[in-house]
Amino acid sequence: MPVHLLCEVLAYTLGYRYYQRLRTRTTDPISSEHRLWIFVGCSVGALLGSRLLGLLEHPEVLLHPPGGALYYFTNKTIVGGFLGGLIGVELTKKRLGITASSGDLMVFPLLLGLSIGRLGCHLSGLEDGTYGTATALPWGIDFGDGIPRHPTNLYEILFLGVLALLLWLQERRRPLPNGRRFQLFLAAYLLFRLLAEFIKPTPPLPGLGLTAIQCACVAGLGYYVWVWWRRDRAMAALPLE
């Protein structure tokens, strides 16, 4: 059974159905037509970002790819997809003149879809390539090569569940400002991936000490630090009433 493909289809299907349900229960400031264009921009950006970062993970094989030219079209990463999708969405919104957040409504569907997708990665074992390094911890899992490894996909599913709970509890106490839910989600995910990559066998880029995914995470986190710094400066400049 192609368990990874099955979980991937379930992730897209259930995530989108959940998004549709949330949208029917929420006053969406973005029209359906504009939402469609935002999805297009997100999809194009995510596809390009995912493929590009996937290729940069192993630059040493770019000139002689294993399996031939098909290699250039099969590598993909979630981090690259998120960052590429973010760029695609922001460019599309700027073109359409949209200032309202388009990502807040997607956060919980994304958390659901990611969790299902990571379950597929875990069940695929060594074939998926997302397992962790060897460990002597009692919860290490042998994926078939006789070596107990960090179950990094299970770590990620646990993290996503905790993040969903924290966001839900925060918004029960006090609604977050426009766009903040997605910012917190993506910044938290990038921080998690930055740390989780240290227990994965992917070699760091020469001279940097970090993998390509970690470099992308640092860039994404730097972007949000800049966004929040600008916001704080703008708020501090407002006259006191």
Task: List pLDDT tens digits, range 10-23.
Answer: 999 999 999 989 88
How much is the mean pLDDT over the chain? 88
Average pLDDT (133-151) is 92
Q: Is the pLDDT of residue 28 over 90?
A: no
Predicted pLDDT at 239: 66
Residue 30 class from Cβ within 10 Å (0-12 exposed, 13-18 middle, 19+ buried)?
middle
Q: Is the pLDDT of residue 34 over 80?
A: yes
Predicted pLDDT at 80: 93
Residue 69 DSSP label: G
Predicted pLDDT at 152: 95
Tokens of 150: 């960090």
Q: Is 148 helix (H, G, I), strand (E, B) or coil?
A: strand
Task: List pLDDT tens digits, range 56-90.
Answer: 887 777 777 776 766 666 778 899 999 999 999 99
Predicted pLDDT at 76: 81
Residue 100, amino acid = A
237 vs 84: CA distance, rounded Å: 32
Which parts of the chain fold into alpha helices (H)? 3-24, 32-56, 71-74, 78-96, 107-124, 152-173, 180-196, 212-236
Greatest Cα pair distance, the chain, in angstroms, is 67
Task: List pLDDT tens digits, range 190-240.
Answer: 999 999 999 998 888 888 889 999 999 999 999 999 988 888 777 776 665
Predicted pLDDT at 99: 84
Which residues, other chains included, contact 154 with Cβ-Cβ below 8 Å and sequence gap of 6+?
118, 122
Task: List pLDDT tens digits, range 163-189.
Answer: 999 999 999 998 888 889 999 999 999
Tokens of 2: 């192609």
Q: Name the one residue in this structure whose structure tokens are 């060594």.
A: 126
Predicted pLDDT at 208: 85
Predicted pLDDT at 241: 54
145 vs 213: CA distance, rounded Å: 25
**How far apart, in Å, are the Cα atoms of 25 and each of 108, 174, 216?**
14, 19, 35
Average pLDDT (134-158) is 93
